[in-house]
Amino acid sequence: MNTDLTLYESKASPNSRRVRIFLAEKGIEIPTRTVDLGAKEQFSAEYVAINPRMQVPTLVLGDGTVIGEVPAIWRYIEEAYPDKPALLGTTPQAKALIAMWERRAEIDGFAAVMEGVRNAVAGLKGRALSGPHAYEQIPEIVERSKMRVAHFFADFNERLKTVPFVAGDAFSAADITTLAAIDFAAGGMKMGIPPGFDALQAWYDKTSDRSASKA
Amino acid sequence: MNTDLTLYESKASPNSRRVRIFLAEKGIEIPTRTVDLGAKEQFSAEYVAINPRMQVPTLVLGDGTVIGEVPAIWRYIEEAYPDKPALLGTTPQAKALIAMWERRAEIDGFAAVMEGVRNAVAGLKGRALSGPHAYEQIPEIVERSKMRVAHFFADFNERLKTVPFVAGDAFSAADITTLAAIDFAAGGMKMGIPPGFDALQAWYDKTSDRSASKA
């Protein structure tokens, strides 16, 4: 275990799960500190001093450097452990294709679910956008999010008819974000993979079965 | 000039500008093809065959691989030209900090302006989100975008009181996205850097003066 690093995270945070799976796929263990979102611990003075954006996950390095944002935490881990299986690609072409597909999974899937949840849930009134500033919910966004998630399922089903993994031939961070988005849609919006989307369902079943996906 | 690559882009596209500045900072020239957004060429059969998401910029490699999404195009260029000045960092820590700050500049700044413009402009009715699907405009988002851009100016002014460049001591991709966001806010939303934000204004003046920023 690398005790120079500390990961602040929450089991209730789908973004934290993206980092947990990434670490588990690489077989890396680092000390974690739970931030209790139910108790609004992310707004506590102690946590705001660590991450003024009041978000999880946050990775703190041994020298005190604070890394927020999932893709940035991933990038640190990928670069700091070059002997572990690569999840962000090994060639310039693979790195770019994984970056592209991971981003599409985030924008079309993960972020669409996130805005659907944050603009709908009563407990997030006045917190429609994550971060240090207060924004009121916009109900019209919720209906649009449902359309976006439906398109995400359809588009990724088409993609997965042609390739075994989201970014191509190998498992990558793009699969992690896609999995996290699908489970977040099921849990947060009660939207599951529609019947007949066999390629996406087969990919989902296979990916869910990976031991790291339980992280 | 590397004639194995082709960049499809538009002078009217702020996302294309992020790639043009990145290439100019590195001193890399590649053949470009203009996509005429005014003539809706991004929806033409010829362009959709290249990028089904109907977005610019798109980088096409010599083997036909298509790379969309600005950070993915950047990643390809950074990795394929290791002898050029790094804009995404050289150490694990710098790579992560640049990824973090570039993402914040995009989410808080660039994307906030983008949704403000796309939900307001008459010519983008039914195209409130970029990509292959049609979404109607939501006027309430425009007012929220103005608040978001105001917070972006304030937060980045605070940041630039403490560091010479957005991600720390060195010019990076995070500065490119911040510059593109500020100019996009001025052009698309008529929102300039407010008076009294001296740190942000000084950074902007210095960054605008770089020759690559004219790209």
| DSSP per-residue string spanning chain A | --TT-EEEE-TT-HHHHHHHHHHHHHT----EEE--TTTTGGGSHHHHHH-TT--S-EEE-TTS-EEESHHHHHHHHHHH-TTSPPSS-SSHHHHHHHHHHHHHIIIIIIHHHHHHHHTT-GGGTTBSS-SSS-B---HHHHHHHHHHHHHHHHHHHHHTTT-SBTTBSS--HHHHHHHHHHHHHHHHH--PPPTT-HHHHHHHHHHHTSGGGG-
Over residues B54-107, the pLDDT tens digits come to 999 999 999 999 999 999 999 999 999 999 999 999 999 999 999 999 999 999
Looking at domain B92-214, which CATH architecture does it have? Up-down Bundle (1.20)
Average pLDDT, chain B: 97
Q: Does A134 touch chain B (CB under 8 A)?
A: no
Share of chain A above pLDDT 70, in %: 100
Q: Does B134 touch chain A (CB under 8 A)?
A: no
A72/B99 touch (CB, cutoff 8 Å), yes or no: yes
Q: Is A2 a residue whose pLDDT tops 80?
A: no
Supply the pLDDT for residue B95.
98
Supply the pLDDT for residue A3.
73
Q: Does A103 touch chain B (CB under 8 A)?
A: yes
Residues with Cβ within 8 Å of residue A10, at least 6 apart in sequence = A16, A34, A35, A36, A37, A56, A57
Looking at domain B6-80, which CATH architecture does it have? 3-Layer(aba) Sandwich (3.40)
B97/A141 touch (CB, cutoff 8 Å), yes or no: no
Report residue B96 CA to chain centroid gap. 19
Q: Where are the domains of chain B?
A: 6-80, 92-214
- Considering only CB atoms, A76 lies closest to which of B93, B136, B147, namely B93
CB A86 within 8 A of CB A99: no
Contacts of B141 in chain A (CB under 8 A): 138, 141
A80/B100 touch (CB, cutoff 8 Å), yes or no: no
Q: Is B206 a residue whose pLDDT tops 80?
A: yes
Q: Is A151 a residue whose pLDDT tops 90?
A: yes
Q: Is B1 a residue whose pLDDT tops 80?
A: no
Supply the pLDDT for residue A68.
98
Q: Does A146 touch chain B (CB under 8 A)?
A: no
Q: How confident is the model at residue B2 (pLDDT cuts 50, 70, 90)?
A: confident
A141/B138 touch (CB, cutoff 8 Å), yes or no: yes
Supply the pLDDT for residue B46.
95
> Which residue on chain A is closest to B145 by alpha carbon?
A135
Compute the average pLDDT of residues A133-154: 97
Over residues B127-159, the pLDDT tens digits come to 999 999 999 999 999 999 999 999 999 999 999
Supply the pLDDT for residue A31.
96
- Write down the pTM of the prediction: 0.97
Q: Is A86 a residue whose pLDDT tops 90?
A: yes
Interface A:B, Cβ pairs < 8 A: 95
ipTM above 0.90, yes or no: yes
